[in-house]
Amino acid sequence: MNRIVLRQIHVISLLVVALLSIYDDATAGVTVEKISEAALDELIYSDQKKLVVTFMAAWCGPCIDELPALNKLHQKYSAKGFNLIGISIDLEGPQAMQPIIDKLKIGFPVYWYGETAIQKYSVFVIPMIIWVKDGRIVERLPGRRSERELDKKIRKFFDL
């Protein structure tokens, strides 16, 4: 090969590496952050919107199984007003859930509140999804649900 062709290949490969770097940054997911009781109450009990909150833990197989469906539905409906947050109840802190969030490339906010959420929000099984409307919890959906079932509930709840 001549020098011109080798130089063109080098320039193209540098562009590919740069584009992949940008893509990785854009799909990096979210950071699981600690949230205070006051901040979580403000999110949940705000009377200005509808919100879906999923409670989960890193050790909970059904929770992990449900996350890809929730993430897909978040991507599908977030621009239409679907508000979703995740709450980790892991004893070990935010770092327990972070590898799972990274691996699944979760795009909705996930916070760590810890085991105190169990009593405060009456979480009697996980995964548990609570449906909040006008600052009130209007429904609790315990256990893992299929993407199809979640899609149907989300469309109905958010009038999509």
**What residue segments make up the domains of the chain, in order of their start?**
1-28, 31-157
* Largest pairwise CA distance in the chain: 71
What are the φ/ψ torsions at residue 3 (nearest 5 degrees)? -65, -35
Predicted local distance difference test score (pLDDT) of residue 57: 95
Predicted local distance difference test score (pLDDT) of residue 28: 55
Asked if 30 and 106 touch (Cβ cutoff 8 Å), the reply is yes
Predicted local distance difference test score (pLDDT) of residue 10: 37
Predicted local distance difference test score (pLDDT) of residue 29: 66
Q: What is the fold of 31-157?
A: Glutaredoxin (3.40.30)
Predicted local distance difference test score (pLDDT) of residue 2: 60
The pTM score is 0.79
Asked if 19 and 51 touch (Cβ cutoff 8 Å), the reply is no
Asked if 61 and 141 touch (Cβ cutoff 8 Å), the reply is no
Predicted local distance difference test score (pLDDT) of residue 20: 43
Asked if 56 and 126 touch (Cβ cutoff 8 Å), the reply is yes
Low-confidence ranges of the chain (pLDDT < 50): 5-27
